Amino acid sequence: MKKLSIIVPCYNEEAVLAESYRRTKEVLKQLTCPTEIIYVNDGSRDATRSILDAISVSDPTVKVIHFSRNFGHQPAVTAGIHHCDADLAVILDADMQDPPELIPDILALQEKEEANVVFCVRKSREGESNFKLITSRLFYRFMNHMSEVAFPVDTGDFRLIDRKVMNEFNRMREHGKYIRGLISWVGFKQIPFFYEREARIAGETKYPLSKMLKFASNALLYFSKKPLKMATGLGFTAVLIGIILAVWVTVGKIIGYSNAETGWTSIMTAVVFFGGVQLLTVGVLGQYIGILFDEIKARPEYIVDCTKNFNTNPSVSCT
Ligand code: UDP
Ligand code: MG
């Protein structure tokens, strides 16, 4: 019989955890297969740590990983997958925006279709700002346009993955992991599951604009070389404009329709325009060099402080 893991990243989620655990556990109790929940505490500064510790004492099927500080949502999910030894895993947000009640249907679909991945596609989204709805819609379509692999649009990390996919994921050494992209990228049989995304049950989003921007730029830079090609294209266009301008000015001087001394406006326009093009292209290069720098340093993606209820590596077990 296959074992199922639920992986839940948590950052300052004291307001939702008790209810989140109760609802998830309720669903897991109805399943016949062995189950566990892996909570990854991503360096929370509120009561998340003590709440998770208390749950792990009362329920031995709840495993907890405490990070040494806040590393981010994607590293937290990555740690969950790395520490998972089950045959199937579902990635779930702590705030219940992805209802755990759907898990039995997702499992049934996986079994029926013998799929390696069931990715959950949001038909609608409750309780999000217009800004988030619009930017996220644009982001997924833009990513599809820029990336060398096709991604399903409007899907988050809420999905079921099997051992085959987890094994391939565990071989990936890159640091700026865009997990939903990487899971599409591995291939195998991947099928959609449509659902209505709910509002967060309590608390605030843990994704402020700064984290959203970092997430989006990582996705773009790790999955596409098109910005570099576009920078080259921009350079060519600028050169072309420069040539046209030069011809126009020279011919104008000879024929006499141009009075070059009064050409302050055109010169300033050209200087500012080409200055901008150069800064932009150097900036794009800089982004990729920054990534190379991070990858070469090869620091771990996250640091585990200690864990609860993992019997495999007791050296890092919390006292
Ligand atoms: N999260 C995390 N580390 C972070 C930010 C978020 O582990 O630095 C977790 C958070 O606790 C939640 C999930 O990632 O379980 C998604 O975050 P959130 O619901 O705040 O994002 P939103 O749904 O608003 O995009
Ligand atoms: Mg959320």
pLDDT tens-digit series, residues 90-127: 999 999 999 999 999 999 999 999 999 999 998 878 87
By most ligand atoms within 8 Å of CB, the mutation choice from 16, 73, 78, 200 for ligand 1 is: 73
* Closest approach atom of ligand 1 to CA 76: 7
**pLDDT reported for residue 256:** 72
**pLDDT reported for residue 102:** 94
Can you tell me the distance from the alpha carbon of 165 to that of 92, in angstroms, rounded to the nearest whole number? Answer: 17
Q: Is 9 in the pocket of ligand 1 (CB under 6 A)?
A: yes
Can you tell me the distance from the alpha carbon of 274 to that of 272, in angstroms, rounded to the nearest whole number? Answer: 6
Instruction: Identify the segments of the chain with pLDDT beneath 70.
Output: 258-262, 313-315
* Nearest CA, atom 11, ligand 1: 10
Q: Is 14 in the pocket of ligand 1 (CB under 6 A)?
A: no
93-132: b or e for each residue (b if 16 or more CB lie within 10 Å)?
bbbbbbbbebbeebbebbeeeebbbbbbbbeebeebeeee
By most ligand atoms within 8 Å of CB, the mutation choice from 95, 98, 125, 139 for ligand 1 is: 95
Q: Report which bound ligand comes closest to the CA of 93.
A: 1
Task: Find, among 205, 255, 219, the residue nearest to 144 by Cα.
Answer: 219
Instruction: Say which DSSP state 94 is in.
Output: T
Can you tell me which residue has the tokens 């099997």? 162
* Closest approach atom of ligand 1 to CA 97: 23
Which distant-in-sequence residues (6+ apart) come within 8 Å of 127 by Cβ?
97, 198, 199, 200
Can you tell me the distance from the alpha carbon of 96 to that of 100, in angstroms, rounded to the nearest whole number? Answer: 7
pLDDT digits (tens, 9 = 90+) for 33-74: 999 999 999 999 999 999 999 999 999 999 999 999 999 999
Task: Spell out the domain ranges in the chain.
Answer: 4-223+300-316, 226-297
Identify the architecture of domain 4-223+300-316 in CATH: Alpha-Beta Complex (3.90)
**pLDDT reported for residue 299:** 92
Which distant-in-sequence residues (6+ apart) come within 8 Å of 136 by Cβ?
128, 154
**pLDDT reported for residue 260:** 60
pTM metric for this prediction = 0.85
**pLDDT reported for residue 287:** 87
What is the number of other CB atoms lying within 10 angstroms of the CB of residue 138? 11
User: What stretch of H or E contains 268?
Assistant: helix 264-297
**pLDDT reported for residue 261:** 64
By most ligand atoms within 8 Å of CB, the mutation choice from 93, 129, 205 for ligand 1 is: 93
**pLDDT reported for residue 314:** 53
**pLDDT reported for residue 244:** 84
